[in-house]
């Protein structure tokens, strides 16, 4: 079994209409990344939480987890709360014998493909 | 003067780190859409607000305003709060002699270019 898994982290909402497109997206991505385990988790207001997903993957033997935020930009959540939570969780898991690498990536909104897609949509819709 | 303008609506944050990429984005989009007036506004926690931007464009003579949400998905804000605010504002402006068309588009996250860009980023970063 490969020991590497990924979590796509979305903000979350109490509104199921908000959540639905993310389910579609993760299906599409799993299709293209079939060699990897890819999960979807939420920062707040929806399940599963990031912590729950990481613990579950750790229990299943995964030892390197990439966390990729589906956010446009990084505010307090991604710059403070999430790194602090990941540090604490990594220590807790290590003390129960699970040495994990948790790699928090920058939000996808900061990647060039996203700026380009946003511009394309705006130009198409407003031209 | 053309009577059509556009507002890119982002969520907003009290964190300037979160806001910065949107400023970059609007510059890039203005460059590609030079025939149109394009503004950036925020739903909450940052200025200018959507209402402020619309009133300003209305005062300047614009009579058709496209509002394009830079959101991944539509939750309560975009399905209830924003349409209610736009209706009320449109009535207020009409009663002061400014007949505006305010067109609220679906969030850009639901457009195919975005799903495709997100998949590309995920595959590139996690492969």
Give the pLDDT score at A77.
Answer: 87
pLDDT of residue A28: 86
Rounded to two decimals, what is the model's pTM? 0.89
**Pairs of CB atoms within 8 A across A/B:** 143
pLDDT at B95: 96
- The alpha carbon of residue B10 is apart from the nearest alpha carbon of chain A, in Å, by 9
The residues, any chain, with a CB within 8 Å of residue A96's CB and separated by 6 or more, are: none
The one-digit pLDDT tens for each residue of chain A (127 residues) are: 578 999 999 999 999 989 998 998 898 888 887 667 999 999 999 999 999 999 999 999 999 999 999 999 998 889 999 999 999 999 999 999 999 999 999 999 989 999 899 989 988 988 7
Nearest-CA distance B96 → chain A (Å): 27
Q: pLDDT band at B77, cuts 50/70/90?
A: confident
Contacts of A67 (CB under 8 A, 6+ apart): A6, A7, A9, A50, A82, A86, A102, A103, A104, A105
Residue A118 has a CB neighbour count (10 Å cut-off) of: 26
Which distant-in-sequence residues (6+ apart) come within 8 Å of A17 by Cβ?
B73, B74, B75, B79
Cβ neighbours of A29 in B, within 8 Å: 118-119, 122-123
Using CA atoms, how far residue A116 sits from B17, B24, B26, B56, B116, in Å, is 20, 12, 12, 28, 11
Q: What is the pLDDT of residues B7-66, one digit of tens each?
A: 999 999 999 989 998 998 898 888 887 667 999 999 999 999 999 999 999 999 999 999
What confidence tier does B127 reach under pLDDT thresholds 50, 70, 90? confident
| Interface contact B123-A17, CB threshold 8 A | no
Question: Inter-chain contact A127–B38, Cβ cutoff 8 Å?
Answer: no
């Amino acid at each position: 079994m490969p020991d590497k898994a990924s979590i796509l982290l979305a903000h979350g909402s109490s509104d199921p209409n908000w959540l639905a497109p993310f389910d579609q997206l993760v299906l599409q991505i799993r299709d293209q990344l079939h060699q990897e385990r890819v999960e979807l988790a939420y920062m707040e207001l929806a399940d599963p939480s990031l912590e729950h997903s990481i613990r579950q993957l750790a229990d299943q033997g995964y030892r390197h987890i990439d966390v990729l935020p589906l956010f446009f930009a990084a505010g307090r959540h991604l710059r403070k709360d999430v790194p602090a939570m990941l540090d604490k969780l990594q220590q807790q898991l290590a003390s129960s014998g699970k040495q994990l690498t948790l790699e928090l990536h920058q939000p996808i909104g900061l990647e060039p493909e996203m700026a380009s897609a946003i511009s394309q949509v705006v130009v198409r819709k407003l031209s």
